[in-house]
Structure 1
Amino acid sequence: MHSSLALLVPLLAVLTSVSAQTCNQTSLCPSTAPCCSEYGFCGSGYYCLGGCNPLYSNSLDSCKPNPICESANYTLVDTSRILTNYTYFEGNASEYDWVVEEGTIMNTTSSGEAALALLLTENGGGTLMSSTRYVHYGKITTRLKTGRWAGVVTAAITMSSIKDEIDWEFPGNQTTTGQTNYFWQGVIPPQTAGVTETGLSDTYDNFHDYTVDWSPSSLTFLVDGNVTRTIMASDCVDNSTGVSQYPNTPSRIQLSIWPAGISSEPEGTVEWAGGMINWNDPDYVSAGHFYALFQSVSVECNDPVAPNASDTGYVYGPNATLDTPSITFSNTTTELNGGAMIGAGLGGVQGFLVAISIMFALAVHVF
């Protein structure tokens, strides 16, 4: 899957009239709004935290260091370390393990087992929850139950600040398959690297453990401990350029449910997700929402070089050979000074409105 920006609420019609400076490879952020956010807008405050792209920011050190990986088992039904309004996050990954960037979560039970539900509604859109810490290689296992409705996608992915991406996705009503994919720096290859993994027992009725085992040399996908696919980094070299198009930068874990079967999505995306969403589906009418259930996430860090006890985060250095950014450890703070003001650097009402529009943005993915 590949990430793009989707605004999922009726407020979009108002907010799109507001402009802000965008950032990309040829247009870096100014010193007055130095950080390029995960959605491609320049600003300060929260813009300098999770997803901040150092290559498109004013300088490589404009973004705060990415909080360093810690091996852990996260029980998601304990919401005490989940911040439900991400705009209040100030970069302290020791205080919160997860932030909700869009949408709604709620505790529930399924077949007597506790779980965290990520919700999707017609008016409110989907839900995206991101880890506050990054992983620079390691094993990540997510225990979940998917949705079962055409047009509704469940996902457990990793995403780096420069759009390296590794995916487990479950589109629509396909409850006996899952799909694996990966991307390098947001590049969409001429031929998709996505593969459909078959033979799963009902993914809506049953919890399964979906694993990504990521190392500098290989990427392995597993279901319930059984290997389904392995990708070698050596096979990801573009022969025309010599560049290895293999995910290699620190990444956040992102859990989501998102609406692919809506009129604003491309026809191919709607088809991939099983068609348009039926908002009159009895499940939706009864509950008032669609949902995906997430029970736990386990992380085993596998940094290529072990960090020192004083190290706090990952930072980007100048690009090394063959378009591969260098990653080093930092012992500087990952936190903002004076708190997170999402409109800072954009100016007055304009900054506020653009910030609000981003609050309602969900990273939507195309297989």
Structure 2
Amino acid sequence: MHASLKLLAAALAVGQVSAQTYTNCNPLDKTCPADPGSTESTLDFDFTQSIDPSQWETTAGTVTTGSNGAVFTIAKRGDAPTIQSKFNIFYGDIEIVMKSAPGTGIVSSLVFESDDLDEIDWEALGGNTGAIETNYFGKGDTSTYDRATYPAVTTPQEVFHTYKVSWQKDATTWSIDGNVVRTLNYADAQGGSRYPQTPMTIRIGIWAGGDPSNGQGTIEWAGGETDYSQAPFSMYVKSVKINNANPAESYTYTDNSGSSDSIKLNGAAPAPSGTFNAATSNVVGYFTPLSVLALVGAFIQL
């Protein structure tokens, strides 16, 4: 489900406004601050131990941890516990081990989203015991809602599964337990104009799409009206593993195009000796003459 509909649903929910997706500043409309990144190419978070407050923030509700990982619980109307990474990634792999929440109308969300509303989703509906939704949006375009798929997955509310997105410049794949269930090619997203291609944060949370105050379309999409007398409804996330293809201290939109080629890497981490990262083609455009000479020298020595 798209960000704008989630915001609407949240705004209607019992006096509380909370949602998994939003943007504080859209760089398609104005100049925005640089997005914080990470200079680490590999990030591995074990939520059975703790949630690192230097890397993650709780944006709504309360999230605890235990032997089953981070616990996201809806105990009453208006609950929507959510965490968000304090860093962005710019292409790469995101792997999450999750057991989704049961309950009609309850939505367990794994959302990757950029400031200009590029978005890649996993969303598990509590009443659907045999499938999970994959979806994507480009630049907040809600002119159509024909991008969702529902690949099969065995009892996601009872069993931990590994959900992975491999997000690259030319294609994105969704995988469940190591098996690819969907591929989106760049050209297939309106010739690339609606392909997710800008730095993203990772947002993990649970919300009641079936809250009776939501619009009928939202309730139907979520699988029906939520019966809070059956609460609590809990989602569990054991771990998050990330391979960031373009580690950097921060990312800057250099224009209002929303193209990956417009993204400048600030304080980019050096690539290992003898390797070349072709995830994005724009990086060379930001090398200084001295850095080019250094690279040439490095290759001569190889």
Normalised by the length of structure 2, the TM-score is 0.79
Structure 2 residue aligned with 1:201: 154
Q: How does 1:1-367 map to 2 (within 5 A)?
A: 1-4=1-4, 5=7, 6-7=10-11, 10-11=14-15, 39=22, 51-57=24-30, 60=31, 62-68=32-38, 70=40, 71-79=42-50, 81-82=52-53, 96-109=54-67, 114-198=68-152, 200-237=153-190, 244-281=193-230, 284=231, 289-303=232-246, 311-320=248-257, 324=259, 326-331=262-267
Query: For the residues of structure 1 that align with 2:51 and 2:177, how far apart are their CA atoms?
Result: 28
Q: For residue 209 of structure 2, what is the amino acid of its counterpart? A: A
Query: For the residues of structure 2 that align with 1:204 and 1:254, how far apart are their CA atoms?
Result: 19
Contact residue 142 and residue 296 of structure 1 kept, 8 A: yes
Query: For the residues of structure 1 that align with 2:207 and 2:77, how far apart are their CA atoms?
Result: 12
Query: For the residues of structure 2 that align with 1:231 and 1:301, how far apart are their CA atoms?
Result: 19
Q: For residue 270 of structure 1, what is the amino acid of its counterpart? A: I
Secondary structure of the 2:116 match is coil
CA deviations 1:220-248 (Å, max 9, x no partner) are 0000111111111011125xxxx621000
Query: For the residues of structure 2 that align with 1:122 and 1:279, how far apart are their CA atoms?
Result: 6
Secondary structure of the 2:85 match is strand
Query: For the residues of structure 2 that align with 1:156 and 1:316, how far apart are their CA atoms?
Result: 25
How big is the shift at 1:104?
A: 1.2
Query: For the residues of structure 2 that align with 1:77 and 1:52, how far apart are their CA atoms?
Result: 33
How big is the shift at 1:9?
A: 6.1
- Structure 1 pair 191/126, CA: closer, same or farther in 2 (3 Å)? closer
How big is the shift at 1:64?
A: 4.0
How big is the shift at 1:11?
A: 4.4
Q: For residue 226 of structure 2, what is the amino acid of its counterpart? A: I
Query: For the residues of structure 1 that align with 2:229 and 2:27, how far apart are their CA atoms?
Result: 44
Give the gaps of 5 or more residues in structure 2.
269-302
Secondary structure of the 1:272 match is helix
Number of positions where the alignment pairs a residue of Structure 1 with one of Structure 2: 259
How big is the shift at 1:66?
A: 2.5
How big is the shift at 1:262?
A: 1.1
Query: For the residues of structure 2 that align with 1:197 and 1:168, how far apart are their CA atoms?
Result: 11
How big is the shift at 1:97?
A: 1.3
RMSD (Å) for aligned C-alpha atoms: 2.3
- Structure 1 pair 142/69, CA: closer, same or farther in 2 (3 Å)? farther
